[in-house]
Amino acid sequence: MKICKMHGQNKRGCGRKINPEFCFRQKGERSVMFRLNWKWAVTALMIVAAAAGAGCKKRASDPFPASGAVAGWDKTSDTRVFAAKDLWQYIDGDAEQYISAGVVSTSTSDYKYQGQLEAVVDVYTMNDAAGARKILETGQSKDAKSIQLGDECVQYAQSISFRKGRSLARIVAYESTPDAPQALLALARGVEAKL
């Protein structure tokens, strides 16, 4: 410990033994001492950086349009989410195909178009885009029609499937109607915009 030279030279002279890293005199002959502890400063900066980083992380988005967000479509159920290990509860018998392709989770919700056409929207989040591609390409038949949507899209009379990044979306209507293909495509565009 040293005697502060500034305080020692002060008219009033405090003569206190201190260990300041910074010591200075303010107006009116009052002196203020600041002790800067670098460990506390580094810790505070790390906390601020962690808080700022947490705010920048991309949050999981909800890919399901709300009722009315897509013309004519109403969301008629809550979103259900299945982890890969629980996927058999939703698609029993076919879950293994998705798990082997790297599914992380599956989200599903029901919709109704103009109060008549019912459909289900499934969004599979995969480990990577290759897994989404693998599932999309599996089981494509000759009557599949290529549509410009997402990274790749195919449409049938009662369904539409597309992939975007590591997501795969499937929209299936429970019945076939003349306006089903256009209605499903509109809903698919609404889902794709939220992925």
129, 166 in Cβ contact below 8 A? yes
pLDDT tens digit string along 23-35?
544 444 444 444 4
CATH of domain 73-194: 3.40.1000
Phi, psi of 71 (to 5 degrees): -50, 125
**Mean pLDDT value across residues 15-30:** 49
- Let me know if 146 is exposed, middle or buried by CB neighbors in 10 A (0-12, 13-18, 19+): exposed
Tell me the domain boundaries of the chain: 2-56, 73-194
Give the HSE-up count for residue 117: Cα atoms under 13 Å, Cβ half-sphere: 21
Distance CA 157, CA 178 (A): 9
Residue 16 corresponds to which tokens in the numbers above?
């206190």
pLDDT tens digit string along 123-178?
999 999 999 999 999 878 888 999 999 999 999 999 999 999 999 999 999 999 99
Confidence of residue 59 (pLDDT cuts 50, 70, 90): very low
Share the mean pLDDT of the chain.
81
The residue with greater pLDDT, 88 or 61, is 88
